[in-house]
Structure 1
Amino acid sequence: MQLLCTLTSPFARKVRMFAIEKGLGDVLHVVTANPLEDPAALLRVNPLAKIPALITAEGEPLYDSRVICAFLDSLAPAPRLIPDAGKQRWIVLRREALADGLMDAAVAIVFERRRPAPEQSTEWLDRWLAKIERALVAMEEEHRSDALVAARLDGIACAAALGYLAFRLPEIDWTATHPALANWWADVAQRPAVTQTAAP
């Protein structure tokens, strides 16, 4: 299987961590593709030119990160990283959506800051930052009420989000205001799935 992505994408990192935790790290071949250049190889797989995009062993294209993770989880009965049914399934999927939304806002900030300073929108930068701050509050509350599981989709998605903040937006000092989340991240950051997928 081929995963088209950049090594700095938090969504691609989520998929790569998921594959490792699932025991599929060795069969997922990473192919770097810059979506901003609309490479033909990526457009053949995903007409939206977004990453990550997966080419399955049968040659079928899959995107985005949520779909790819669900597909990877279906390839083997164990370990199950996404609950099949019941209340826990919806908790896990809600937490994934929360982490994905945080990453969306963080990526938007990163790209906006790359524009010439006079063209940057302070209003949108503030809106995206506010989304990140609200997501962190919710993530802390979620973790306190029912702990995130590092080797499950919710923990993997949240780890990808927190890792991206540390990588691209270190000025957001969330560890000082969200101690339970900070303690969890300190432990999770040492897992092989996290260390092996760190941005170069």
Structure 2
Amino acid sequence: MMKLFYTNTSPYSRKVRITLLEKGLEGNVDSALCNPFEDAAELKIFNPLGKIPTLVLDDGRVVYDSPVICEYLDTLNTNGELVPSSNDARLLVNTWQALADGIVDASYHIVMEGRRDESERSQGSVERWKGSIVDSLKQIERQIATLPAETTMAQISLAAALGYLDFRLSYLEWRNGQANTAAWYEEFAKRPSMVETQPPT
């Protein structure tokens, strides 16, 4: 059985967990809740970066990070094609995934900066990251209709990113001015895979 190191507050882990559920693979994985800051020694046995999510395969091979894990999981059965095989469709999905992951990256930096001593914080960096999030949301609002009709890693990644904004940076009120994106997210968030992987409140 495969083993997944994850944390239930990480949007990157959430992407993988959503993928497992969408593919019907949750029974093939032993999920190990892991705090990368406290359990780094165990995690680094498998991933020298000490980052989650990390997936250990049945044969001992190790896979990271989230896009690579999700693409691997997508090959394990034919329950939907989350990463399309055709070049143009694959390019579209991977570009959406990169944009969504970039929002998560910027959000994470803001969260971590807020945990530093006030005297050590860089407000300039925070504003730059916020600007990246705002600009990305504006582009998503303009292009939301270009999402594939079927569920892919584009939708999964975007939903995980928007959910993380709700979870960690709700004060940004990302829905303001993003009516189409908000409507899309409201509907996608009803999926069982989204409900089951919601971060703890």
Q: TM-score, normalised by structure 2?
A: 0.94
Partner secondary structure for residue 125 of structure 2 = helix
Amino acid at match of 1:188: F
Q: Following the alignment from structure 2 to structure 1, what is the Cα–Cα distance between the partners of residues 45 and 53?
A: 13
Letter in 1 for 2:37: L
Kindly state the Cα deviation for residue 150 of structure 1 after the two structures are TM-superposed: 6.8
- The equivalences for 1:17-96 within 5 A come to 17-37=18-38, 39-96=40-97
Residues 150 and 106 of structure 1: is their aligned pair in 2 closer, same or farther, counting only changes over 3 Å? farther
* Distance in 1 (alpha carbons) for counterparts of 2:102 and 2:168: 16
Q: Provide the C-alpha distance between the structure 1 equivalents of 2:149 and 2:168, rounded to a whole number of angstroms.
A: 24
Q: 2-side partners of 1:147 and 1:39: how far apart?
A: 37
Gaps of 5+ in 2: none
Cα distance in 2 between the residues matched to 1:29 and 1:197: 15
Equivalent position amino acid for 1:87 in 2: D
8 Å contact from structure 2 (residues 18, 197) kept in 1: yes
Q: List structure 1 segments (4+ residues) > 4 angstroms apart after TM superposition.
A: none
Q: CA RMSD in A?
A: 1.3
Contact 2:147 2:154 in 1 (8 A): no
What secondary structure sits across from 1:174 in the alignment? Answer: coil
Aligned to 2:197: 197
Residues 107 and 165, structure 2, Cα contact 8 Å, conserved in 1? yes
Unaligned runs of 5+ in 1: none
In 2, Cα distance between equivalents of 1:57 and 1:50: 20
User: For 1:31, what is the secondary structure of its paired residue?
Assistant: strand
AA of the residue aligned to 1:44: I
- Does residue 1:188 correspond to 2:188, yes or no? yes
Q: When the two structures are aligned, how many residues end up with a matched partner? A: 199
Counterpart residue type for residue 50 of structure 2: A
